C-alpha cells in the first residue's frame, strides 16, 4: 500500500531552496489549470478575512479559557478521565482493524502490539498519579499517542484519532510554560507530528489526517507552551505546513483552504511575538551566547548572502529556463534554521532543552521564515509590462500566497522590524526588489497585494526605505498608471486605488515633497504624482470611469490634508524668496539638523530652488552645452570660471540631462573636459562592487560614446577610480582598464544581433590572460563576470519613449549602495512647513481636473465631491493669500452658472431648478464669495455675471441692495418686485425687479387674480417644484451678504468688487442712449451705492470710482430714465449718510453734488422736486457738518436753482429758511452764499409775494450774525486775526447791502418797497458799527446811487403796469439816502472824497426833481426833494460842513457846487438856509465854479430852460 511519509527535518542553507523551486515549477505550479485556480481563487484571498475572523473567534475563546485557568489548573481527576476517554477512542478505532483486534498466540504466549500495550499501560497508570498535574512530565501521557502518530503501521483513521487526542490535550491548558519538562515534551510533539506516517486507505482519510496535522501544529504555536519551542522546531512546523500546502494542490478544496489558512495563522502567530522581543538583552539560558552575537552572525551571513544574491540576480534575471533540480525522494527542504552547516544544525540538538526559545530569542527563526517567504517570490519568473513579448506562462498562485504571508508578517511585526537588522535588510533588499518586479505583474491580484505590502512598509518602516519607496513609485506606480506604457485598464485601476490609499495617509504627500522633490538627488515624486492624478482625472473623449473618480479623490484628499494643517504653526505662510548672490557648491550644502524644522525647512526650500534652476540649466544644456553652463553661472550655481568639480557635479546630480550629450562631453579630449571626467568618476562609490557591477552603475548615468578614443578616456578614468576603491583582486589600474575593455567587447559581442559567432566563456578567459600585472585573474572571477554580462546586457540608454525607467538589476544594486549614504527620511509632524510650496504646484492642475470631472459628472455624489474639492482649494488659497488661484477657481465655477444666460426667462428658471449641477455650483461659488471674499480679485466680475443672471430671472431677494442701516427694514421675499413709488424720500433704496409679464410667477399670479381678464397656461407641478428648488438654492447662497458684509472685505478685494460693479454697469451704456439691458446697469449702480454706504469708514478708497461712474451716467444721459434717477439719488443718499461721519471728505462729497447742476435740462426738470427734497433732508441732517465755503456753495447752488422751479421751490426755500432762521447755521463760510440764495428767492416770481418778503427778512436778520461775529472777533487773541475777521465781516455786510439793492428793483411793488426798507434797516443798523468810511462811500456809489439811478431809469422806460408805483419807491429811496447820509455826515465829511459823494447826492436829487410821470412832474418829488435838501443843508450848515470861505484861492468847491446844483433844483433854498448871503456875490462865485469844472460839467441854467422841456414825459 502507498504511504504518505513526513520524514524528520534536515537543515541546510537557504540556497538549497532551488530544489523546491524546481519542484514547485514542475509540479505545484503546473498542476493547476487556469480554470481550476479560478475556482479556488476566492478561498485564500477573497474569503480569507472571513476565515480569519472565525478562527480568531475560536482563538479568543481559548485565550479566555487560558486566563481563567491561570490561577488554578484543571482538576486532575477530570484530566485523567479525559485522557482515559481519548485512550479508549484510539483503541476503539484500532480494534476495527484486524491487525489490532486479534491476539496472536506463540508458544502459548499471548502478546499485544507495543502501541496497544503503551496505551493500556497509560490507562492503568493515569488514575494512580498523586502529584499535581503540572508536575507530571507531559511525555508520559503524550508518548503513547505520539507513537501511534509516528507509526507507519497505523491507518489514516487511527492516526487521525490520535492527532485529535493530542490536539485536545494541547488545548485544555494541561500544558503551559510552568509544566515539568515542557520544552522536551513540546519538541517531542513537534518531532512526532512532523514525522507522521500512516497507511493511506482512501483520499478522504488522508486529507483528514493532513488537516489534523495542521491543527495540532497550529495549536503548538498558539498554546501557552509555545514559548518553549526552539527556533529549530518553529522552522520545522512552518516547513511541514508549507509542504502540506504544496501537496494540497492535488487534493480537495477544503484541504487547500485549511492548509493555506493554517500557514497564514502560523506566520501571524510567529511574527506577533516580534514586538515583545528585546533586541539587546536576549540570550541563551545557560549564558553561553547572546542574541547579539547570533544577530551579528546573521548580519555577516546576510551580507554574504546579499553579495551572492546580487550576482545570482544578475545571472538569473532574464533566464527563461525553469530550475529543475529535484531531490531523490521528491521532497525538498523548505525552511532552514539559522545555521551555516550541518554541524551547526547538530549543535541545535545538543543545546540545553530550553535554549533558543521563541519568546526570548525567536529572531533567527523569523529571519529564516521571512527569507523563505521572500524566496518564494523567485519561484516563478514574473512577466512585467514590457514591450517585448514574453512567451512564459504566468501563474499567480505561489507569489500571491507568498505576498499574503509577507503582508501578514509585516502587519504583525510592524515597526519592530527596524530593531532587527537581519529582518530589516531582507525587507530593504530582497523583498523590495521582488516587489518591484511583481509590481509590474499583469495580475491585478498580485499587483494589489504588492501595493498593500508597500503601504504597510510605508506606515512602519519608511524611514529605513527612502530610496526603495522612490524607486517603487517611479518604476511601478507611475509606469503602470499610464496606458502609454502598455498597462491594462485593470492594472491602472489597481495602481490608482493604491495611489489614492497612499494619498489618504495624512503625511504621505508632505513627505514625498520634502524628501524627494526638495532633494536634487531624487526625482520629483510629489509633482509626478500630482500630475498623474490631475491627468488621470481628465476624461479625454470618454465618459467618466472609476479611474477618473479615483484620481479626483486622490487630489481632493491631498488638498484636504493641506487644509487640515492650516494654522498648525508653520514657520512662514509663504515661501520666502531664495536668491544666490554668490557661488556656493550646491552639492556640498548640508543641513545643520534634520530634527529641527528651523534648520531643515529653509534648507529644503533652498534645495528646491536649486533643483528648479538645475532643471532649467539642463534644458539649456540639452540644446547647447555652453549656454547651459552660462545659465548656471548666471544663477550662481557654477563659478564665473567653471571648475571641473562643479561641472562634474552638475552632470552627475542633475536629472533630465541628455545622456548622449553627457557621454560626448566627458569623452572630449580637451584638458578641461578630461579633468571633468576624472572629477565625475570621483563622485561614485565602488566599494564592495564587482567590476562589471561598478561599470553598470557608471554607465547608468550616461551613454558611452561611440568613438574609441572617447571610450578609452572614459574607461581609463573609471578604472583609476575603481582600483582606488577596490584593490583586492586587481593588481593595478591597468588591469582594471583592460578588463573593462574586455567587458565592453563581450557585451557588444553577445548582445549585438549582427554578430553571429558569439564569444564563449573560454574565449573570454583566454582573452584576459596575464592582464593582472602579468598574472592571471581567478577563473571563477572571470567566469562570474562572463555569465553576468551574458545574462544581462549593459544598457546605456533608456528604452525609447519611457519616461519612467524599469528597475534593472544593476540599477537596483546601485540603489542599495546609495541607500547607505542618503540623507535621513524626514517624517512629517502634521505641521504646514512646506504646504505653501506644495499648494502652489498642486492648485492649478487640481482645479482644472475638478472642473472637468464636475463638467462630465452625472452623479450627485460626484458633484458634491467636486464641490468639496473646490471649497478646500478656496480655503487654502485664502489662507495663503493666493488671489490668482482663488480667481481661477471662481471662474471655473461660474461657467457652470452662466450657461443659463442664453435661455429665455422661463426656460432658465426651470433649467436652474431642475439642474442639480448648476444649483450646487451656484451654492459653492457664493459660499466661497462669502467665506473668502477677502482674497477674490478679478473673480468678482464672474460672480457679478451670475448675480445679473439671477436678477434677470427674478430670483434675487428684494433687499439685495440694502446697506447696514436698512437691515431692520429688509424682507426675505423672493421673486419679482414692483416699485410702489418713484420717490426716494426714504433712506431705503429698494431693489426693483424686472417688470416682465411673461415670467412663470407672473403667469401664476395672474391665474390667481380674480380681476384677470385673460388666464394664461397653468404652471405644472414640475414647474412649481423647479421654481421652489431654484428659490431655495438662491436662499442658501446668501447673495445679499456679499454686499451687506462688504465692510469686512480687505481693501484690495473691495476695490475689485467696485471695479466689477462699475464695469458691469458701464458696458450697457452705448453712446447717449441706454441698451435693452438697462436694468442690469441699475442693479449694478444700486449695489455700488450699497457697498459704498456699508464701507463709510473706507469711503475714500471707493469714492473716486463711484464718483466717476455716476458722473459718466449723469453726463451721458439726455433723457430721463431709471439709471440716471438711481445715479442722482444714489449720490444724494451717499452724501446724506456719510457727511456726519467723514469730515475729511465732506467737501468732496458735497462737490460731487455739482453733477446735479450738469444735468441736461430735460432730465433736471423731471427730478427737481425729488432732488430738492433730498437736498433739504441732507441740509437739515448735516448742516452742522458742512464747514467749507465750497460745500456750502454746492448746497446753495442747488437751492438757488429751485427758486425758479415751481414744484421744487417750496422745498428749496424751506431748506434755506432752516439755514438762515435765527442765524442758527449761518457761518462766515456760507453767509454770502445764503444771502445770495435768499436774494434769488426774493426776486423769484415763482412763489408768492409773502415768500419774497420772508426772504428779505432773512437777509435783514442775518445782520445779527454779523454783529455777533464782529463781537466775537474783537475778543480774539491775535490782532491780525481780528483785523482779518473784521474785513471779512465788512465784505459780507456789503454783499448783503448789494443783494438788497438788487431786490429794490423788483417789479412787484411790495417786494421792491420791502427791499428798500430792509436796505434802510441794514444801513441804519450799521451806522453805529465800525464800518470804515471808504466802505460807506462804496455803499453809496455801488448801491444807493445805483438803486436811485436804476429806479429813475425804470420809471422813465417802463409803464406803470410793468412797474407799478415807482414814484412811491423813489420817495422811499430818496428818504433812505437822505437819512443815511445825515446819520453819517460827520464821519463822511472827514473823507477826501466827501465832495464827490455830496455831488452824487445832489445829482440824484436833481434827476428826481426833474422827472415827469405821464408828462407831469411828480408832486411828491417836487415837495420831497427840496425838503430833503433843505434839511440836509441845514444840518451841514450847523455842522460847519457847508460854509462859505473867502480865502481868494477858489478852493471852496463844496460851497460852489452845492449852489450850482441848487439853482437847478430849488434856487430859493439859498436864501432860506443862508439868508445873510448876497445873491450877486453868490452868482459870481457860481460862474467861477462852473469855469473851474470845465466844459463837461453837467449843470444847466434854469433861466434858459423852457417850460415843457425840463424832463421826459412819462406815458
| DSSP letters for 801-869 | T-SS----HHHHHHHHHHHTTSPPPPPP-S--SSHHHHHHHHHHHHHHHHHHHHHH---HHHHHHHHHH
Q: For the beta carbon of residue 124, count every other beta carbon within 10 angstroms.
A: 8
Helices 671-682, 659-666: inter-axial angle, 10-degree rounding = 120
Please tell me whether residue 1059 adopts helix, strand or coil conformation. helix
Q: Which of 1089, 863, 1112 is nearest to 991 (CA)?
A: 1089
Rounded (10°) CA dihedral 889, 1027, 910, 918: 10
Residue with C-alpha cell 483520499? Answer: 203
| Backbone φ and ψ of 104, nearest 5° | -95, 135
C-alpha cell at 140: 508520559
Q: Which of 277, 242, 272 is nearest to 260 (CA)?
A: 242
| DSSP letters for 153-188 | SSBHHHHHHHHHHHHHHHTTT---TTSTTHHHHHHH
d(CA 509, CA 499): 11
d(CA 292, CA 1509): 151
Specify whether the CB–CB gap between 1102 and 1095 falls below 8 A: yes
Please tell me whether residue 727 adopts helix, strand or coil conformation. coil
Is 707 tagged catalytic? yes
CA angle 821, 824, 828 (to 5 degrees): 160
Three-state DSSP string of 443-511: CHHHHHHHHHHHHHHHHHHHHHCHHHHHHHHHHHHHHHCCHHHCCCHHHHHHHHHHHHHHHHCCCHHHH
d(CA 799, CA 801): 6
Q: For the beta carbon of residue 1280, count every other beta carbon within 10 angstroms.
A: 8
Residue 1043 CA neighbour count, 13 Å, CB half: 28
| Backbone φ and ψ of 26, nearest 5° | -80, -35
d(CA 365, CA 360): 12
Catalytic member of 70, 707, 724, 1505: 707
Greatest CA span in the chain, whole angstroms?
Answer: 213
Nearby residues of 580 by Cβ (< 8 Å), 6 or more positions away:
635, 636, 637
Specify whether the CB–CB gap between 968 and 1084 falls below 8 A: no
Please tell me whether residue 328 adopts helix, strand or coil conformation. coil
Specify whether the CB–CB gap between 1153 and 1167 falls below 8 A: no
d(CA 1091, CA 1105): 12
Specify whether the CB–CB gap between 796 and 703 falls below 8 A: yes
Specify whether the CB–CB gap between 833 and 570 falls below 8 A: yes
Specify whether the CB–CB gap between 1003 and 1016 falls below 8 A: yes
Three-state DSSP string of 1020-1056: CHHHHHHHHHHHHHHHHHCHHHHHHCHHHCCHHHHHH
Residue with C-alpha cell 523583498? Answer: 431
| Backbone φ and ψ of 1224, nearest 5° | -60, -40
d(CA 1069, CA 1091): 22
Q: Which residues are catalytic?
A: 707
Amino acid at each position: 500500500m502507498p504511504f504518505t511519509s513526513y520524514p524528520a527535518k534536515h537543515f541546510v542553507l537557504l540556497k538549497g531552496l532551488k530544489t523546491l523551486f524546481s519542484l514547485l515549477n514542475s509540479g505545484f505550479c503546473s498542476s493547476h489549470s487556469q480554470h481550476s485556480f479560478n475556482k479556488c481563487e476566492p478561498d485564500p484571498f477573497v474569503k480569507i478575512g472571513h476565515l480569519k475572523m472565525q478562527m480568531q473567534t475560536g482563538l479568543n475563546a481559548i485565550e479566555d479559557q487560558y486566563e481563567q485557568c491561570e490561577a488554578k489548573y484543571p482538576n486532575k481527576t477530570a484530566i485523567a478521565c479525559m485522557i482515559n476517554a481519548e485512550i479508549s477512542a484510539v483503541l476503539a478505532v484500532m480494534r476495527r482493524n484486524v491487525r489490532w483486534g486479534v491476539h496472536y498466540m506463540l508458544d502459548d504466549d499471548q502478546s499485544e502490539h507495543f502501541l496497544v500495550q503503551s496505551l493500556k499501560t497509560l490507562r492503568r497508570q493515569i488514575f494512580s498519579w498523586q502529584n499535581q498535574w503540572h508536575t507530571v512530565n507531559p511525555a508520559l501521557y503524550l508518548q503513547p499517542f505520539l507513537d501511534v502518530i509516528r507509526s507507519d503501521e497505523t491507518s489514516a483513521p487511527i492516526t487521525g484519532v490520535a492527532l485529535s487526542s493530542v490536539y485536545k490535550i494541547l488545548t485544555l491548558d494541561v500544558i503551559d510554560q510552568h509544566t515539568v519538562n515542557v520544552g522536551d515534551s513540546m519538541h517531542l510533539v513537534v518531532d512526532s507530528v512532523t514525522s507522521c506516517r500512516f497507511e493511506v486507505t482512501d483520499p478522504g482519510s488522508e486529507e483528514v489526517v493532513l488537516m489534523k496535522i495542521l491543527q495540532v501544529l497550529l495549536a503548538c504555536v498558539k498554546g501557552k507552551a509555545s514559548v518553549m519551542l526552539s527556533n529549530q522546531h518553529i522552522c520545522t512546523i512552518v516547513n511541514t505546513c508549507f509542504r502540506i500546502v504544496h501537496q494540497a494542490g492535488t487534493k480537495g478544496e477544503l484541504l487547500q483552504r485549511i492548509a493555506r489558512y493554517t500557514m497564514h495563522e502560523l506566520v501571524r502567530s510567529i511574527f506577533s511575538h516580534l514586538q515583545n522581543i528585546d533586541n539587546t538583552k536576549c540570550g541563551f539560558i545557560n549564558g553561553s551566547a547572546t542574541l547579539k552575537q547570533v544577530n551579528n552572525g546573521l548580519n555577516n551571513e546576510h551580507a554574504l548572502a546579499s553579495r551572492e544574491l546580487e550576482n545570482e540576480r544578475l545571472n538569473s534575471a532574464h533566464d527563461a529556463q525553469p530550475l529543475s533540480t529535484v531531490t531523490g525522494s521528491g521532497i525538498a527542504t523548505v525552511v532552514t534554521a539559522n545555521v551555516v552547516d550541518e554541524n551547526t544544525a547538530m549543535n541545535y540538538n545538543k543545546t540545553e532543552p530550553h535554549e533558543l526559545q521563541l519568546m526570548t530569542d525567536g529572531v533567527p527563526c523569523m529571519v529564516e521564515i521571512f527569507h523563505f517567504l521572500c524566496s518564494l517570490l523567485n519561484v516563478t519568473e514574473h512577466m512585467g509590462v514590457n514591450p517585448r513579448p514574453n512567451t512564459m506562462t504566468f501563474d499567480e498562485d505561489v507569489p500571491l500566497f507568498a505576498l499574503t504571508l509577507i503582508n501578514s508578517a509585516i502587519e504583525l511585526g510592524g515597526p519592530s522590524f527596524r530593531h532587527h537588522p537581519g529582518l530589516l535588510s531582507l525587507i530593504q533588499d530582497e523583498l523590495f526588489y521582488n516587489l518591484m518586479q511583481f509590481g509590474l505583474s499583469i495580475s491585478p491580484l498580485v499587483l494589489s497585494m504588492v501595493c498593500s505590502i508597500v503601504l504597510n512598509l510605508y506606515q512602519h518602516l519608511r524611514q529605513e526605505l527612502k530610496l526603495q519607496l522612490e524607486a517603487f513609485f517611479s518604476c511601478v506606480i507611475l509606469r503602470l498608471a499610464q496606458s502609454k506604457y502598455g498597462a491594462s485598464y485593470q492594472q491602472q485601476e489597481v495602481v490608482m486605488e493604491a495611489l489614492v490609499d497612499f494619498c489618504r495617509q495624512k503625511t504621505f504627500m508632505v513627505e514625498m515633497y520634502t524628501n524627494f522633490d526638495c532633494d536634487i538627488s531624487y526625482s520629483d515624486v510629489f509633482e509626478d504624482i500630482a500630475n498623474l492624478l490631475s491627468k488621470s482625472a481628465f476624461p479625454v473623449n470618454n465618459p467618466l470611469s472609476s479611474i477618473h473618480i479615483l484620481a479626483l479623490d486622490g487630489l481632493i484628499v491631498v488638498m484636504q490634508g493641506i487644509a487640515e494643517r492650516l494654522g498648525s504653526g508653520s514657520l512662514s505662510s509663504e515661501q520666502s524668496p531664495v536668491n544666490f548672490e554668490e557661488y556656493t557648491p550646491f552639492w556640498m550644502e548640508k543641513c545643520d539638523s534634520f530634527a529641527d524644522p528651523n534648520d531643515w525647512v529653509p534648507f529644503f526650500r533652498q534645495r528646491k530652488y536649486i533643483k528648479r534652476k538645475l532643471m532649467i540649466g539642463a534644458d539649456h544644456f540639452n540644446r547647447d552645452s555652453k549656454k547651459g553652463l552660462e545659465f548656471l553661472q548666471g544663477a550662481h550655481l557654477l563659478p564665473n570660471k567653471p571648475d571641473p568639480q562643479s561641472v562634474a557635479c552638475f552632470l552627475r546630480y542633475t536629472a533630465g540631462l541628455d545622456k548622449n550629450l553627457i557621454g560626448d562631453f566627458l569623452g572630449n579630449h580637451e584638458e578641461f573636459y578630461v579633468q571633468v571626467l576624472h572629477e565625475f568618476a570621483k563622485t561614485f562609490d565602488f566599494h564592495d562592487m564587482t567590476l562589471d557591477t561598478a561599470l553598470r552603475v557608471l554607465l547608468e548615468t550616461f551613454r558611452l560614446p561611440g568613438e574609441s578614443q572617447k571610450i578609452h578616456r572614459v574607461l581609463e578614468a573609471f578604472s583609476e577610480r575603481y582600483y582606488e576603491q577596490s584593490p583586492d583582486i586587481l593588481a593595478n589600474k591597468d588591469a582594471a582598464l583592460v578588463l573593462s575593455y574586455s567587458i565592453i567587447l563581450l557585451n557588444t559581442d553577445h548582445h549585438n544581433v549582427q554578430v553571429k559567432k558569439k564569444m564563449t566563456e573560454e574565449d573570454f578567459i583566454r582573452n584576459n590572460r596575464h592582464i593582472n600585472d602579468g598574472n592571471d585573474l581567478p577563473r571563477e572571477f572571470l567566469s562570474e563576470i562572463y555569465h553576468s554580462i551574458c545574462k544581462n546586457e549593459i544598457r546605456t540608454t533608456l528604452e525609447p519613449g519611457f519616461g519612467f525607467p524599469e528597475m534593472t538589476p544593476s540599477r537596483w544594486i546601485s540603489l542599495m549602495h546609495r541607500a547607505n549614504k542618503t540623507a535621513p527620511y524626514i517624517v512629517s509632524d502634521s505641521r504646514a512647513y512646506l504646504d505653501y510650496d506644495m499648494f502652489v504646484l498642486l492648485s492649478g492642475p487640481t482645479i482644472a481636473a475638478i472642473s472637468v470631472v464636475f463638467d462630465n459628472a452625472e452623479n450627485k455624489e460626484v458633484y458634491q465631491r467636486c464641490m468639496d474639492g473646490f471649497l478646500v482649494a478656496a480655503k487654502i488659497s485664502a489662507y495663503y493669500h493666493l488671489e490668482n488661484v482663488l480667481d481661477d477657481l471662481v471662474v471655473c465655477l461660474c461657467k457652470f452658472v452662466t450657461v443659463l444666460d442664453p435661455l429665455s426667462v422661463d426656460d432658465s428658471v426651470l433649467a436652474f431648478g431642475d439642474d442639480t449641477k448648476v444649483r450646487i455650483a451656484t451654492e459653492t461659488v457664493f459660499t466661497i464669495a462669502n467665506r473668502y471674499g477677502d482674497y477674490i480679485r478679478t473673480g468678482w466680475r464672474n460672480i457679478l455675471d451670475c448675480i445679473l443672471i439671477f436678477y434677470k430671472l427674478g430670483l434675487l431677494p428684494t433687499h439685495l441692495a440694502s446697506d447696514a442701516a436698512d437691515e431692520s427694514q429688509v424682507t426675505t421675499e423672493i421673486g419679482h418686485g414692483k416699485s410702489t413709488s418713484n420717490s426716494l424720500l426714504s433712506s431705503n433704496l429698494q431693489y426693483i425687479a424686472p417688470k416682465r409679464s411673461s415670467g412663470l410667477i407672473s403667469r401664476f399670479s395672474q391665474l390667481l387674480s380674480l380681476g384677470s381678464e385673460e388666464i394664461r397656461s397653468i404652471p405644472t407641478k414640475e414647474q412649481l417644484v423647479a421654481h421652489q428648488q431654484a428659490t431655495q438654492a438662491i436662499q442658501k447662497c446668501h447673495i445679499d451678504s456679499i454686499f451687506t458684509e462688504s465692510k469686512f472685505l480687505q481693501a484690495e478685494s473691495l476695490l475689485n468688487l467696485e471695479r466689477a460693479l462699475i464695469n458691469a454697469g458701464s458696458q450697457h451704456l452705448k453712446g447717449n442712449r441706454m441698451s435693452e439691458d438697462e436694468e442690469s446697469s441699475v442693479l449694478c449702480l444700486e449695489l455700488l451705492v450699497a457697498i459704498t454706504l456699508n464701507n463709510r469708514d473706507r469711503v475714500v478708497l471707493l469714492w473716486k470710482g463711484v464718483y466717476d461712474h455716476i458722473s459718466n451716467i449723469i453726463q451721458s444721459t439726455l433723457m430721463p430714465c431709471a439709471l440716471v434717477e438711481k445715479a442722482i439719488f444714489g449720490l444724494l443718499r451717499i452724501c446724506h449718510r456719510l457727511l456726519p461721519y467723514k469730515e475729511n471728505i465732506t467737501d468732496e462729497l458735497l462737490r460731487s453734488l455739482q453733477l446735479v447742476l450738469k444735468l441736461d435740462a430735460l432730465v433736471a426738470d423731471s427730478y427737481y422736486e425729488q432732488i430738492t427734497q433730498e437736498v433739504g433732508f441732507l441740509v437739515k441732517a448735516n448742516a452742522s457738518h458742512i464747514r467749507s465755503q465750497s460745500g456750502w456753495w454746492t448746497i446753495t447752488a442747488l437751492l438757488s436753482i429751485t427758486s425758479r422751479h415751481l414744484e421744487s421751490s417750496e422745498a428749496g426755500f424751506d431748506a434755506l429758511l432752516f439755514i438762515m432762521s435765527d442765524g442758527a447755521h449761518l457761518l462766515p463760510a456760507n453767509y454770502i452764499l445764503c444771502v445770495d440764495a435768499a436774494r434769488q428767492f426774493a426776486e423769484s416770481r415763482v412763489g408768492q409775494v409773502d415768500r419774497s418778503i420772508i426772504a428779505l427778512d432773512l437777509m435783514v436778520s442775518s445782520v445779527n450774525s454779523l454783529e455777533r461775529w464782529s463781537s466775537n472777533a474783537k475778543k480774539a487773541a491775535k490782532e491780525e486775526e481780528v483785523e482779518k475777521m473784521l474785513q471779512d465781516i465788512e465784505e459780507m455786510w456789503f454783499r448783503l447791502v448789494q443783494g438788497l439793492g438788487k431786490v429794490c428793483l423788483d417789479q412787484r411793488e411790495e417786494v421792491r418797497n420791502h427791499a428798500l426798507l430792509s436796505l434802510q434797516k441794514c444801513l441804519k443798523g450799521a451806522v453805529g458799527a465800525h464800518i470804515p468810511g471808504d466802505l460807506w462811500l462804496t455803499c453809496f456809489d455801488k448801491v444807493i446811487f445805483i438803486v436811485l439811478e436804476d429806479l429813475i431809469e425804470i420809471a422813465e422806460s417802463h409803464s406803470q403796469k410793468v412797474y407799478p408805483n415807482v414814484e412811491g419807491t423813489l420817495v422811499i429811496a430818496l428818504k433812505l439816502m437822505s437819512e443815511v447820509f445825515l446819520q453819517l455826515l460827520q464821519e463822511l465829511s472827514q473823507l477826501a472824497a466827501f465832495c464827490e459823494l455830496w455831488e452824487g447826492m445832489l445829482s440824484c436829487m436833481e434827476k428826481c426833481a426833474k422827472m415827469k410821470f405821464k408828462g407831469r412832474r411828480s408832486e411828491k418829488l417836487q415837495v420831497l426833494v427840496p425838503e430833503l435838501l433843505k434839511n440836509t443843508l441845514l444840518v451841514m450848515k450847523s455842522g460847519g460842513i457847508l460854509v462859505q470861505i473867502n480865502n481868494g484861492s477858489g478852493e471852496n468847491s463844496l460851497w460852489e457846487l452845492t449852489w450850482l446844483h441848487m439853482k437847478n433844483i430849488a434856487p430859493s433854498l439859498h436864501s432860506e438856509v443862508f439868508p445873510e448871503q448876497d445873491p450877486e456875490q453868490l452868482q459870481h462865485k457860481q460862474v467861477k465854479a462852473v469855469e473851474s469844472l470845465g466844459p463837461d460839467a453837467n449843470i444847466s441854467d434854469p433861466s434858459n430852460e423852457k417850460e415843457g422841456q425840463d424832463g421826459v414825459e412819462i406815458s
